[in-house]
Structure 1
């Protein structure tokens, strides 16, 4: 008789902290109970590890409807049940996981030192939480930030919907490279085959634009306005700041130590809907306008795009407004920022915008 085990299920449309479910292996298939009623063949499942000492076990697979999913046993008992009841096809991978689960004493000592340091700062948190967040973000080395962004993109690639070449990607790259000339980051640009109007930035210089946003933008300058904003989230490490606020100090400690494996999976599911504070959004808008001017790109595109979205939101599949609200106050501030810039005539971007859109629309018609 199959043994069920409690677990947390992670996915793009599931709670960031995971959905508690009951799961079991029936023959060579994993069955997830509850309202979802999901199944996955054992040979389609990958064994992934994460957590501070790589001791968290994840079963990963791609569902035809829900995309990439990860299942983590809820506790030690559930983990033991999973390992004992798994089919033979997963035995070798699970053996490697068990071997890799031995404690690394040095890491624990380092974490203890970090915990002590954070404890000493608890009183300061009450007086200046923002300063503590800034401190934690500064502690993350650039190479860890790059690793986190790269791992996030690896997770997104497994959906099969990430475009990294073609006319649309070339257009995004050409505009993005203008905006990031001289940056400390080496930027990577991609387009996600998703009809919602969205764009997002992952740490380390990884920026993804949804197909729906490109189709909604009337000009390449409107695309540039969105990219200028997202680039500032990278340059100012806003995503890392949001991670500290949203995922807690314990999770951030693993990133400070360079262990990003578990974090990358969660970030891949959350990054498109990351909520930034009003101050961070304002900073991204203000510095984004300055970046457009430096790149000799007309800044009006930022304002016209957000105003169009705010006006047409009820008729459009928009994700951008949930994480970057285009309020009247915000749009007015953007327009005021444009008026404050030195007046000049900006050359139009040399991009065949109708051809870029046509290339994405052609994908819809392809068999």
Structure 2
């Protein structure tokens, strides 16, 4: 129909995407018919012309009704041309302002796009230095601030009421962990979290937390030692700090350096169990963890055995560890190759009553008052 243009009709009681409609001008009135729906008749004096859309170049004609505001927008350039070409002259000034604004918006978006492209090229050229920048930032966090952050993170975890800091399992963590961290610059704290999933994580400054599900899944204390050796290296090499900087940003780092760790600790406690590390950091923690096991005279093959166990049991068990520390086949093979390259020597078994430790983390025992 001559003079008709296709639009979408928007309103409070209509779908967010609007409804299809046809519109046309009759004298000093706008007629709108939705599909389906009654014919709407609006005096031109009541219309308000607005600009919207992602690029701020879409034309909207709006008006107020007792039920709320309604508006229409042409569906394409042809419909907009028909609207502009058939509109009463009293709308000319407003339509010209919209056209000027659209042209200005398009120039601005072209400028923004150009700047964004230049910034992307600059970031790409600097990307290779990003890892060095993160390492530099982490290494400039004072140890005392790092320790304070770790302690505050642990305090946040305690609020959940599931942190266990004594008992046979915690004693085993302390005994193994003490051997793995002899001579460290950090004072380590070992704790058990009453969670059935298989997981362990390191917080900055020497805080290591192990889920009781991991204790239950480990077949020997040497397997637990392999996990602890890996987590300890995340602390010793400040991997957790680096991951935190990636996840929370430089502003969080500045907050820690300035000594206000409360807000950052709350965020870190929320995500600490799912912090992920790059493949390079995981490989470094594996490699240095094996070295730590050898220094502590603990059989290093426990690390490979444990990940092989998880690999086989993953479909049947709730294993959070594999999401934050992916035990890929290539990674397990690298661990096994690292063990094979170590000097051959005998390792006395850890003198830990493993049956008693596992009994202490059984669901029945955990539920006991």
Q: Would the TM-score normalized by the shorter structure come out above 0.5?
A: yes
Contact conserved, 1:149 with 1:206, CA < 8 A, in 2?
yes
State the Cα distance separating 1:146 from its structure 2 match: 0.3
- C-alpha distance in 1 between matches for 2:346 and 2:215: 24
Query: Which residue does 1:151 correspond to in 2?
Result: 152
Aligned to 2:209, what secondary structure does the other structure show? strand
Query: Which residue does 2:271 correspond to in 1?
Result: 270
Query: Which residue does 1:221 correspond to in 2?
Result: 222
Query: Which residue does 1:101 correspond to in 2?
Result: none
Aligned to 1:315, what secondary structure does the other structure show? coil
1:142 aligns with 2:137: no
- C-alpha distance in 2 between matches for 1:136 and 1:147: 17
Query: Which residue does 1:346 correspond to in 2?
Result: 347
- Give matches, 1:283-322, under 5 Å: 283-322=284-323
Contact conserved, 1:222 with 1:302, CA < 8 A, in 2?
yes
Aligned to 2:249, what secondary structure does the other structure show? helix
Query: Which residue does 2:83 correspond to in 1?
Result: none
Contact conserved, 2:153 with 2:268, CA < 8 A, in 1?
yes
State the Cα distance separating 1:365 from its structure 2 match: 4.8
Aligned to 2:191, what secondary structure does the other structure show? strand
C-alpha change, 1:261 and 1:291, in structure 2 (3 Å) is same
**Alpha-carbon deviations, 1:155-184, whole Å to 9, x = none?**
011111101111110001100000000000
State the Cα distance separating 1:126 from its structure 2 match: 3.9
Select which of 362, 365, 369 maps to 1:363.
365
Aligned to 2:190, what secondary structure does the other structure show? strand
- C-alpha distance in 2 between matches for 1:344 and 1:334: 18
- C-alpha distance in 2 between matches for 1:125 and 1:180: 36
C-alpha change, 1:150 and 1:365, in structure 2 (3 Å) is closer
Query: Which residue does 2:254 correspond to in 1?
Result: 253
Higher relative contact order (CA 8 A, sep 6+): 1
Aligned to 1:200, what secondary structure does the other structure show? strand
Contact conserved, 1:297 with 1:347, CA < 8 A, in 2?
yes
- C-alpha distance in 1 between matches for 2:174 and 2:144: 22
**Alpha-carbon deviations, 1:321-362, whole Å to 9, x = none?**
000001000000000000010001100000000001111224
Aligned to 1:191, what secondary structure does the other structure show? strand
C-alpha change, 1:230 and 1:123, in structure 2 (3 Å) is same
- Give matches, 1:137-216, under 5 Å: 137-216=138-217
- C-alpha distance in 2 between matches for 1:126 and 1:330: 25
- Give matches, 1:20-39, under 5 Å: none
Unpaired runs of 5+ in structure 1? 1-121
Q: TM-score, normalised by structure 1?
A: 0.65
**Alpha-carbon deviations, 1:68-96, whole Å to 9, x = none?**
xxxxxxxxxxxxxxxxxxxxxxxxxxxxx
- Give matches, 1:8-157, under 5 Å: 125-157=126-158
State the Cα distance separating 1:124 from its structure 2 match: 8.8
Aligned to 1:314, what secondary structure does the other structure show? coil
Count of matched residue pairs? 247
Contact conserved, 1:125 with 1:132, CA < 8 A, in 2?
no
Query: Which residue does 1:332 correspond to in 2?
Result: 333
- C-alpha distance in 2 between matches for 1:294 and 1:268: 31
Contact conserved, 2:194 with 2:366, CA < 8 A, in 1?
no
Contact conserved, 1:133 with 1:241, CA < 8 A, in 2?
yes
Aligned to 1:201, what secondary structure does the other structure show? strand
Computed over aligned residues only, the root mean square deviation of the Cα atoms, in angstroms, reads: 1.6
**Alpha-carbon deviations, 1:137-160, whole Å to 9, x = none?**
111000000000000000011111
- C-alpha distance in 2 between matches for 1:188 and 1:142: 15
State the Cα distance separating 1:127 from its structure 2 match: 4.8
State the Cα distance separating 1:256 from its structure 2 match: 2.2
Query: Which residue does 1:29 correspond to in 2?
Result: none
Contact conserved, 2:138 with 2:242, CA < 8 A, in 1?
yes
- C-alpha distance in 1 between matches for 2:355 and 2:170: 14
Q: TM-score, normalised by structure 2?
A: 0.65
- C-alpha distance in 1 between matches for 2:144 and 2:223: 32
- C-alpha distance in 1 between matches for 2:245 and 2:366: 38
- C-alpha distance in 1 between matches for 2:191 and 2:155: 12
